[in-house]
């Protein structure tokens, strides 16, 4: 009976160790990763020996939660791939992050260090017990001489005190060790709560007419990976080209480490789908908005007579508060607005939405229906020459992509209405073929880090302008001339005059080119008229009111600019954005 129990236990141990399936296992080596903005495609290989006929092999070192429809298996030597089945492996050791593995190793080391400490403590306790027993025997013996009593006291003074002191140190060391192990266990639990993706397994069935060796290639797509661009921009001097280092922050949490893999970065996104859109006919008809009667706290569709009887505001009484949202200009039983408050009828851009708090619109729409993701441009791929290791920890790992040297022209720019400082800018043309994407930048000028910025090529028309930081040696000051300001009433109108001056001083040792921008107000109301405009010989855009001066300023030179305007508007009105 005992032998039978041992045999069954051994079978259970083998079953647990090798998994429920008895198929031979083969570890895949991840050779290449094509990383998309969201997701990645992994290519793995393995050399296998196959017997004639059907063979089943369980491949390990596979990412978890993969897109099963993306699995492709290739085999050399005329081997036929009959099927491939994926499953997550929650028992694998590779699902731990590097941090968790390190902490578990520390726990094992500390636990091993406790054993000799506990052994020493056991020996000390035995020695203390022997001393205590010796004291008891000596106390029960009659006729101890003075000499013997002195020796006994010396023994307790030297030995007992030392043992107690050593025991205290050992207990304190054990206490600190247990405390450290407890904290590490708590940290391990916290790390494991972060959702580390388990690895997976792929069971593949092969067929071959005769025994052969075959190179197996397995490709699949994983969702828990991606990359984002970042840039280092360096300018050595105002007469030197711009150096741009294109980098990528790559992250992955797919259940396996990428060790020394070839990386390719793609600007594509496999989640966008490949089906081309198809147009449907658009039929014109008169719009009849559905109306819900909240006037008597009822919820039913009103007929045309009931709608006409509802008290409403006139069109002239409705003012716009923001794009597509309107509200009443005077009181009534109904209000028009953009918020959802109980008991109110709301119209947003001519379409009614329900007004009860917490109730969604008619189509049960969520915010995802109104979010548009735009990956403009044709997909590009960057092949990284050097192999990289990207651990499965979900953290960002910086990878160098490309380095460019770009011809640039330099200028100083200031908008003193918004900021009192002048900014050095590099203007780059012919940047369209660099496949730049929106991302953060680290700016270096003359070998010194000056700050961070953002590169957004989607906003650039022909010239890419890169800000290289503030230059405190260029002083720009904008002031309103209070002496020339005036307010006059003429008939039913008010004429208000404004005047401004801009002073620029170049404290650098060399001449500079400085572009200054300011603006004139623009009226979209016939009752608000701009008169007596003096733009100070600036290049002025009529539609926007933007003014621009391009100045060449010698060292220590001071230049002054002046501009002004008059605004005429009806009495009793307040004009916004005049100051």
Q: What integer best gives the mean pLDDT of the chain? A: 76
Same domain, 257 and 178: no
pLDDT at residue 335 greater than cutoff 70: no
Report CA-CA distances (Å) from 32 to 35, 74, 197, 334, 470: 10, 15, 20, 63, 44
Domain boundary among 192, 209, 236: 192
Count structural domains, the chain: 4
The mean per-residue pLDDT over the stretch 275-289 comes to 75
The whole-angstrom separation of Cα 388 and Cα 34 is: 12
The mean per-residue pLDDT over the stretch 219-241 comes to 91
Same domain, 415 and 547: yes
Q: Is residue 352 part of a domain?
A: yes
Q: Is residue 289 part of a domain?
A: no
For residue 370, give the 3-state DSSP assignment.
Answer: helix
The mean per-residue pLDDT over the stretch 29-35 comes to 95
pLDDT for 216: 96
Same domain, 414 and 517: yes
Interhelix angle 161-192/98-140, nearest 10 degrees: 160
Copy the structure tokens of residue 435: 């496949």
pLDDT band at residue 116 using 50, 70 and 90 as cut-offs: confident
Question: Between these two residues, 329 and 230, which has the higher pLDDT value?
Answer: 230
- List residues bridging with 348 in a β-sheet: 351
- For residue range 299-330, what is the model confidence (pLDDT) as tens digits? 455 555 555 555 544 444 444 444 444 444 44
Same domain, 103 and 161: yes
The mean per-residue pLDDT over the stretch 85-96 comes to 65
Copy the structure tokens of residue 291: 């109306």
Same domain, 181 and 210: no
Q: Is residue 414 part of a domain?
A: yes
Same domain, 78 and 119: no
Residues in the chain: 579
Question: Between these two residues, 372 and 574, which has the higher pLDDT value?
Answer: 574
Q: Is residue 296 part of a domain?
A: no
Same domain, 227 and 311: no
- For residue range 93-104, what is the model confidence (pLDDT) as tens digits? 545 555 667 777
Same domain, 205 and 324: no
The whole-angstrom separation of Cα 133 and Cα 512 is: 97
pLDDT for 389: 93
Q: Is residue 67 part of a domain?
A: yes
- For residue range 388-405, what is the model confidence (pLDDT) as tens digits? 999 988 889 999 888 888
Mean pLDDT lowest for which of 3-17, 182-196, 453-467? 3-17
pLDDT at residue 483 greater than cutoff 80: no
pLDDT at residue 507 greater than cutoff 90: yes
Q: Is the dihedral of CA 163, 164, 165, 171 positive or negative?
A: positive
- For residue range 238-277, what is the model confidence (pLDDT) as tens digits? 888 999 999 999 999 888 999 999 999 998 877 766 677 8
Same domain, 179 and 211: no
Copy the structure tokens of residue 429: 């043309």
pLDDT for 160: 65
The whole-angstrom separation of Cα 78 and Cα 288 is: 67
Same domain, 116 and 65: no
Same domain, 577 and 441: yes
Domain boundary among 157, 192, 227: 192
Copy the structure tokens of residue 157: 């003074």
pLDDT band at residue 164 using 50, 70 and 90 as cut-offs: confident
Same domain, 477 and 381: no
Q: Is residue 437 part of a domain?
A: yes
Residue range of the domain that includes 527:
407-579
Q: Is residue 284 part of a domain?
A: no
Q: Is residue 564 part of a domain?
A: yes
CB atoms within 10 A of CB 573: 11
- For residue range 409-438, what is the model confidence (pLDDT) as tens digits? 899 999 999 999 999 998 888 787 788 888
Domain boundary among 168, 192, 216: 192
């Amino acid at each position: 009976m005992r032998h039978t129990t041992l045999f069954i236990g051994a079978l259970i141990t083998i079953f647990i160790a090798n998994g429920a399936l008895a198929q031979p296992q083969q570890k895949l080596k991840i050779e290449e990763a094509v990383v998309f903005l969201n997701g990645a495609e992994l290519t793995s290989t393995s050399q296998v020996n196959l017997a004639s006929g059907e063979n089943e092999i369980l491949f390990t070192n596979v990412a978890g939660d993969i897109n099963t429809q993306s699995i492709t298996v290739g085999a050399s030597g005329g081997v036929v791939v009959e099927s491939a089945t994926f499953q997550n492996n929650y028992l694998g050791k590779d699902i731990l992050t590097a941090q968790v593995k390190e902490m578990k190793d520390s726990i094992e080391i500390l636990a091993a260090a406790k054993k000799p400490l506990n052994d020493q403590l056991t020996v000390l306790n035995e020695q203390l017990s022997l001393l205590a027993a010796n004291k008891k025997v000596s106390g029960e013996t009659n006729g101890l001489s003075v000499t013997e009593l002195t020796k006994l006291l010396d023994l307790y003074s030297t030995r007992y005190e030392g043992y107690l002191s050593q025991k205290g140190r050992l207990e304190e060391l054990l206490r600190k060790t247990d405390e450290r192990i407890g904290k590490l266990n708590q940290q391990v639990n916290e790390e494991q709560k972060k959702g580390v993706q388990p690895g997976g397994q792929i069971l593949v069935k092969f067929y071959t007419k005769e025994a052969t060796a075959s190179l197996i290639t397995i490709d699949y797509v994983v969702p828990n990976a991606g990359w984002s661009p970042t840039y280092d921009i360096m300018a050595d001097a105002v007469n030197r080209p711009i150096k741009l280092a294109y980098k990528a922050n790559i992250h992955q949490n797919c259940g396996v480490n990428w060790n020394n893999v070839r990386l390719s970065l793609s600007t594509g996104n496999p989640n966008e789908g490949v089906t081309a859109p198809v147009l449907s006919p658009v039929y014109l008809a008169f719009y009849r908005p559905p109306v819900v009667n909240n006037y008597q706290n009822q919820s039913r569709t009103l007929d045309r007579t009931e709608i006409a009887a509802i008290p409403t505001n006139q069109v002239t009484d409705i003012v716009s508060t923001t794009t597509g949202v309107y509200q009443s200009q005077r009181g009534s039983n109904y209000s028009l607005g953009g918020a959802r408050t109980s008991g109110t009828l709301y119209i947003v851009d001519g379409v009614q939405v329900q007004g009860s708090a917490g109730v969604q619109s008619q189509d049960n729409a969520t915010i995802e229906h109104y979010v548009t993701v735009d990956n403009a441009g044709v997909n590009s791929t960057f092949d990284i020459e050097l192999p990289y290791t990207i651990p499965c920890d979900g953290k960002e790992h910086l990878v160098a992509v490309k380095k460019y040297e770009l011809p640039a022209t330099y200028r100083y720019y200031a908008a003193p209405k918004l900021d009192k400082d002048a900014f050095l800018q590099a203007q780059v043309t012919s940047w369209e073929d660099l496949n730049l994407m929106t991302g953060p930048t680290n700016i270096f000028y003359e070998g010194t880090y000056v700050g961070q910025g953002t590169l957004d090529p989607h906003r650039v028309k022909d010239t890419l302008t890169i800000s290289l930081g503030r230059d405190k040696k260029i002083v720009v000051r904008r002031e309103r001339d209070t002496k020339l300001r005036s307010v006059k009433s003429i008939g039913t109108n008010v004429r208000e005059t404004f005047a401004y001056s801009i002073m620029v001083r170049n404290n650098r040792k060399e001449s500079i080119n400085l572009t200054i921008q300011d603006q004139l107000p623009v009226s979209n109301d016939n009752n608000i008229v701009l008169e007596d405009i003096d733009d100070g010989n600036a290049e002025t855009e009529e539609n926007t009111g933007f003014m621009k001066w391009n100045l060449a300023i010698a060292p220590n030179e001071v230049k002054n600019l002046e501009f002004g305007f008059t605004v005429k508007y009806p009495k009793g009105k307040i004009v916004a954005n005049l100051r």
